[in-house]
């Protein structure tokens, strides 16, 4: 881990929270986090809705029972 990485991650979390709060306040909130660009502190999968989340969990259990993809590709920048 880079010596400044935890500062960058904390600042990013603060910025994301501020943007989420602002967009919600002005009623522009569309809570959908892109998987490619999400930090590991964001819950991207559930932002696609309950039905999609359940479908992904079911597919994961069937096609990646060992969790290789989740463990091998943890996400984040």
Structure tokens at 1: 């881990």
Rounded to whole angstroms, the Cα distance separating 38 from 57 reads 18
Residues 35-59, mean pLDDT to the nearest whole number? 83
pTM of this prediction? 0.49
- How do residues 49-63 score in pLDDT, each as one tens digit? 889 889 988 998 999
Q: Locate tokens 């809705």: which residue?
A: 49
pLDDT higher at 73 or 53: 53
Q: Is the pLDDT of residue 1 over 70?
A: no
Cβ atoms 75, 40 nearer than 8 A: yes
pLDDT score of 72 more than 90? no
């Amino acid at each position: 881990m880079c010596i400044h990485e935890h500062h960058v991650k904390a600042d990013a979390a603060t910025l994301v929270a501020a943007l989420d709060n602002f967009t919600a306040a002005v009623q522009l909130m569309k809570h959908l986090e892109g998987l490619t660009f999400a930090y590991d502190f964001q819950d991207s999968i559930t932002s696609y809705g309950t039905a999609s989340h359940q479908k992904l969990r079911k597919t994961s259990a069937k096609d990646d029972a060992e969790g290789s993809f989740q463990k091998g590709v943890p996400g984040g920048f």
